[in-house]
Structure 1
Amino acid sequence: MSRNRRIVAWRTPADLLEVKAAFYPVSNGEDLRPMALAKVRAWISRTRIPHAIEATALLTEATLHDTSSHSALNSRLSYSTAICRFVNGLIDPAQQAQFALPMHILARNLNLPASFVEIRHAATHDMLPGLPVLRAVAARALAWLWDNYWVSVGVKWTSEVTGSGEEAVLQSKARMALKRWRQLRREDPRKPLKRFDKTPEGRETYKIIKECAAICRGEEGKEALIEAFLEEKGLIPAGKKKAPLMNGAFHLWLPLLDSLDASVSGFSNMLLSAMLDVFNTTRPLFTLLDGTNPDDTHPPEFMEAVLAWLKHLTSTNPEPKTNFGHQAISPIDYDELIKQCVVRPTERGLKFLRHLLNEYPAMNEKYARIVEIAATQVVLPPAKKAEDGTDTRKRKLEEVEAEVKEFEARFEAMKRQKAEQEARLRDGDAMQVEAVVETVKAGRWKKWNGEWTPRPIGVL
């Protein structure tokens, strides 16, 4: 369950399989190629699509236009354009050497017949090939696209659908386990766990811990459980006002987090990294027609709750107590967390960084300057007006003064650098400078009256 999502133009895998079946029908029936062409045009208007799909559409459209209602020249132009785009789209991305390689070599590396390159060259630089030749080459191009792209599309999507089904099962198991934990511990979340508790409640508690550890046997299972943790009614309390509920959430979930941290390798770093990813969620590609943007990340209360968890799990003396991140099996990698915050700085990420520097003063020497540089890269959200009309994002006077002093220091450094450059120019040979100036003023060469030393012409 990778968090790196890939945007595609089709809505479901079935849409792509339907277009595949229309371009390459198994039996003779209704011609569905016009429908497939309309779908591909709609996909192109949404986002970029694979070159093989676009090339198939162009070649198919040229074939459909090859009728008596169109002139021979029109058909030749359609075929030639489709074949040229088919070849260029394959070869141009492969042209990555410092010096351009011959197209025949690139085509051979791609297992592309040389005849395609020759027809492309003729259609571009010579007379257009005749219709019989173009028809044959277009048919061969469609066959090549089937063998090298379309034949594997069904297998690829089938495996992806199967994989997504397994992910859904893991997510369902994770949510059910956390729901049972919440129901079991809700009445008395402060009750400590006893290792050999033989009561029904104690047996059920350790059964849930074992189930969660079993889910985390693979990377996808870990991601499924962490995703369930970072939902409302997981680590994040339900409701709008979450801050007053955080202490209860700490008591409720810390025993389970500590147990997983002690039994699942890498769990602590993976959970903290996923929490930081909540701050880095990017905006959607499209905005609403009325100009507003949909909920691009999470509500502010949700983000603050995640920040509270980050601070609590990385504190040196938290209350309630926790051993999270202090297990030998997977200690917290603070360097990696700081790197994640610095590479993609956010307002709450910087709050977390400053929390780490306060909790672990030894890090200041190594990271304090980097954190300050990252702070200059953060783009604050637009100012919001409170009910009384005041700006809710006004900065403190001390912060503004500190920024003004920083800019003054930069300005003084720039002035010193400019003065040093001017001094170096003045330290040059005064006689040579004077001679050059006089020469420029005179507009011609002047005789040198000083001691003569043979030099190449134009050199003083």
Structure 2
Amino acid sequence: MIKRSTAPPPWRHESELAMVRDWFYAQHARADAFSAPPGDMRQRAVDRVNLWLFKAGALPPAVLSTASLTEAVIHHDRVRKTTGDDGRALVDLTISGQALQSIYAMAFARFVNAFVDRDVARAHTADLMVHDSSDDGDETTTNTGTGGNGTTSTARGESSMYAHAATIGMPEAFVDLRHQVAHGELPSLIYLRKMTLSALEWLWERWWVKNATGDPTRALLELAERRQLSMEVQMARNHEHQGLDIESPESG
């Protein structure tokens, strides 16, 4: 089981977290017989997580991973939807297939690292250092070639990753894919999408079901009230501007 973060959450109450949960996972949300489906709210969920991150500076890895993986799927969905209801082309030609592969790969690698790489920051620091022949505990370095530059064997570090993955119930295939993309080997878009959707389901079962157990009703009502207030303010401003136009002297 993934542990809860000890930092205070940036969401105002559990209902707000539940609302974002349902935006991410509409397929798991409880259907309301008296309300119309809200539509695709995944981008709203990603935006809300980014707002939380801006406010708090840190979030539970599961929340950040859900947002980044979902955003990769959203990019892909926009490209896959070739035409709209009116028949006009909607293909986003600014994103190539290779770029989509990179988006998926980066999101997936960060997701796995967040849960099974215990020394991410330390590893980045080690990459900037020159090793002669030492054992830092997780990796062994062997000099090859000239100039003192070495190649690092990460067998022990990777083994540790698999051990951490087993502890939290993460499939080995997730770690396999992380290692694959880390070495610049990008699988097909079909496989990357399949694994990303599997990762999102894993996050649902391992974190969201256990940590986001609230009812979204309160947050949805607050959202509707803020939207209504914003509309009323805008209408008042429009009426004020119209009144000023009527009172102003005619030109010419």
Using the size of structure 1 for normalisation, the TM-score is: 0.31
State how far apart, in whole Å, the 2-side matches of 1:152 and 1:94 are. Answer: 26
* Residue 137 (structure 1) aligned with residue 162 (structure 2): no
Quote the residue 2:218 is aligned against: none
Quote the residue 1:19 is aligned against: 20
Residue by residue, what CA displacement relative to the aligned partner does 1:356-377 show, whole Å, maximum 9, x if unpaired? xxxxxxxxxxxxxxxxxxxxxx
Q: Residues 10 and 29 of structure 1: is their aligned pair in 2 closer, same or farther, counting only changes over 3 Å?
A: closer
State how far apart, in whole Å, the 2-side matches of 1:137 and 1:149 are. Answer: 18
* Residue 81 (structure 1) aligned with residue 106 (structure 2): yes
Quote the residue 2:70 is aligned against: 60
**Gaps in structure 1 of 5+ consecutive residues:** 159-460
* Residue 152 (structure 1) aligned with residue 210 (structure 2): yes
Residue by residue, what CA displacement relative to the aligned partner does 1:100-145 show, whole Å, maximum 9, x if unpaired? 2512222112211111111111111032111011000001000000
Give the one of 98, 108, 115 matched to 2:173.
115
Quote the residue 2:137 is aligned against: 99
State how far apart, in whole Å, the 2-side matches of 1:120 and 1:131 are. Answer: 15
RMSD, aligned CA: 2.3
Percent sequence identity is 32
Following superposition, the deviation at residue 153 of structure 1 comes to 2.5
Moved over 3 A (4+): none
Q: Residues 6 and 135 of structure 1: is their aligned pair in 2 closer, same or farther, counting only changes over 3 Å?
A: closer
The DSSP-based 3-state class of the residue aligned with 2:39 is coil
Residue by residue, what CA displacement relative to the aligned partner does 1:375-403 show, whole Å, maximum 9, x if unpaired? xxxxxxxxxxxxxxxxxxxxxxxxxxxxx
Amino acid at match of 2:102: L
Q: Residues 129 and 6 of structure 1: is their aligned pair in 2 closer, same or farther, counting only changes over 3 Å?
A: closer
CA contact (8 A) 1:56 1:145 kept: yes
Using the size of structure 2 for normalisation, the TM-score is: 0.56
Give the one of 55, 60, 67 matched to 1:50.
60
Structure with max Cα Rg: 1
Which of structures 1 and 2 has the larger relative contact order (alpha carbons within 8 angstroms, sep 6+)? 2
State how far apart, in whole Å, the 2-side matches of 1:52 and 1:141 are. Answer: 10
Quote the residue 1:37 is aligned against: 46
The DSSP-based 3-state class of the residue aligned with 2:117 is helix
Following superposition, the deviation at residue 29 of structure 1 comes to 4.6
State how far apart, in whole Å, the 1-side matches of 2:166 and 2:7 are. Answer: 30
Q: Residues 6 and 44 of structure 1: is their aligned pair in 2 closer, same or farther, counting only changes over 3 Å?
A: closer
State how far apart, in whole Å, the 2-side matches of 1:24 and 1:31 are. Answer: 10
After alignment, is 20-29 or 121-130 more displaced?
A: 20-29
Quote the residue 2:182 is aligned against: 124
Amino acid at match of 1:31: D
State how far apart, in whole Å, the 2-side matches of 1:37 and 1:29 are. Answer: 16
The DSSP-based 3-state class of the residue aligned with 1:93 is coil
Residue by residue, what CA displacement relative to the aligned partner does 1:316-336 show, whole Å, maximum 9, x if unpaired? xxxxxxxxxxxxxxxxxxxxx
Following superposition, the deviation at residue 93 of structure 1 comes to 3.2
State how far apart, in whole Å, the 2-side matches of 1:111 and 1:19 are. Answer: 24
State how far apart, in whole Å, the 2-side matches of 1:81 and 1:123 are. Answer: 8
**Gaps in structure 2 of 5+ consecutive residues:** 1-5, 32-36, 80-91, 121-135, 139-156, 216-252
Quote the residue 1:71 is aligned against: 96
CA contact (8 A) 1:23 1:60 kept: yes
State how far apart, in whole Å, the 2-side matches of 1:6 and 1:113 are. Answer: 27
Amino acid at match of 1:23: F
